[in-house]
Amino acid sequence: MVALHRGHGHHGDMNLARFPRRRYTPGFTPLEPLPRLSAALGGPEIWIKRDDLLGLAAGGNKTRKLEFLVAEALAQGADTLVTVGAPQSNHCRLTLAAAAKEGLKCRLVIEERVPGTYAHEALGNNLLFDLMGVESVRVVPLGADLAAEMAVEAAAVRARGGVPYTIAGGGSTPLGALGYAACAAEIMDQSFDLGVAFDAIVVASGSAGTHSGLLAGLVALNTGVPLTGINVRRPRAEQEGNVHKLAVATAELMGTPAPSRDSVVALDEWVGPGYSLPTTSMVEAVRMLASLEGVLLDPVYSGKAMAGLIGLVRRGDFHAGQRVCFVHTGGSPSLHAYARDLRDPALNG
């Protein structure tokens, strides 16, 4: 008997096997109950999908997207990956890790979304850019044309006779989002194996590939499980539009039914003053998961998403008798770049 989850393979509805894919994680990530958090909140039974334990340096959601994106890069004969992210970008860290593992080079464009927040000597993901041998890091201001800035990097690669492969911010294209359609199938397999039916799934919603891929997968598999996104950057209507558009394009790529507009929920009450800026509820969520469950969230994404889940429990949207699955998208390396904010729970914000 193989007890480790390897899947039942009954995903003919999506047939993701026809897309070239590199494998960066052996088997499934754990799906675990959080009994001490659940007891502390006194609401639903809360479970966690441990995508912080995915493969590549320090794990996190981008690993699933990169399995499909890097497979395409290799098929095209690329020798250099080019991508873009924020100053403490997990996506840039994982793209660089995939490049290292595949023997490719990697060039990064850093969008300074909050002026003055990029410091070359910063810890967290910035240190890892250096350790993993990035070829170049170029900082551009908020509002820069990111596609054009990446084209500059691609041209530099071509000028030295190389072949660039450009990855959109967060890897959030239909091809990248397939990684999260695959995750939806994985969660449903585990849910079946464990005999645990979920009433809802909650996930951070940023560049939208994770949210969109999960939604497209849940719809393709006809699960009926609702998905709640917690925004980390944009107002609700704008983010829901972005997610819907990408979810429809992802479903089209898979040849599965398009998710409806009203199946897209991306709540914006936990963004706080803005992208990457700490909030009191994020600090509380990070400290609760760490101290009650030994699980490390991050300040920018999973911390705010968990703050949203906690807030939804407290206001009764999720309640006793229900089971909720939180998708942990990773990001813990950036905790170390936010030590001052996290150590002081009396933060204003």
Ligand X SMILES: Cc1ncc(COP(=O)(O)O)c(C=O)c1O
Catalytic residue flag (residue 89): yes
Q: Which of 129, 295, 302, 308 binds ligand X (CB under 6 A)?
A: 302
Interaction of residue 338 with ligand X, rule CB under 6 A: no
CA distance 308 to 10: 33
Interaction of residue 303 with ligand X, rule CB under 6 A: no
Interaction of residue 63 with ligand X, rule CB under 6 A: no
> What is the three-class DSSP state of 294?
coil
What Rg do the C-alpha atoms of the chain give, in angstroms? Answer: 19
Output the smallest distance, CB 234 to ligand X, in A: 10
Q: Which of 157, 175, 204, 227 binds ligand X (CB under 6 A)?
A: 204
Q: What angle do CA 107, 108, 114 make, to 5 degrees?
A: 170
Place of tokens 């699933």: 64
Taking the least distance from each CB to ligand X, the nearer of 256 and 302 is: 302
Crossing angle (nearest 10°) for helices 174-194 and 236-254: 90
Strand 45-50, strand 31-33: pairing: antiparallel
- Residue at 73: amino acid letter: A
Q: Give the number of other Cβ atoms within 10 Å of residue 7's Cβ.
A: 15
Interaction of residue 172 with ligand X, rule CB under 6 A: yes
Q: Which of 29, 191, 210, 223 binds ligand X (CB under 6 A)?
A: 210
Q: Which of 105, 211, 244, 304 binds ligand X (CB under 6 A)?
A: 211
The mark string for 78-107 relative to ligand X (x by CB under 6 A, - otherwise) is: ------------xx----------------
DSSP 169-205: GGG-SHHHHHHHHHHHHHHHHHHHHHT---SEEEEEE
Joined together, the tokens standing for residue 211 give: 């949210």
Q: Which of 271, 329, 337, 341 binds ligand X (CB under 6 A)?
A: 329
Catalytic residues: 89
- Binding interface with ligand X (CB under 6 A): 60-61, 90-91, 170, 172, 204-211, 298, 301-302, 329-331
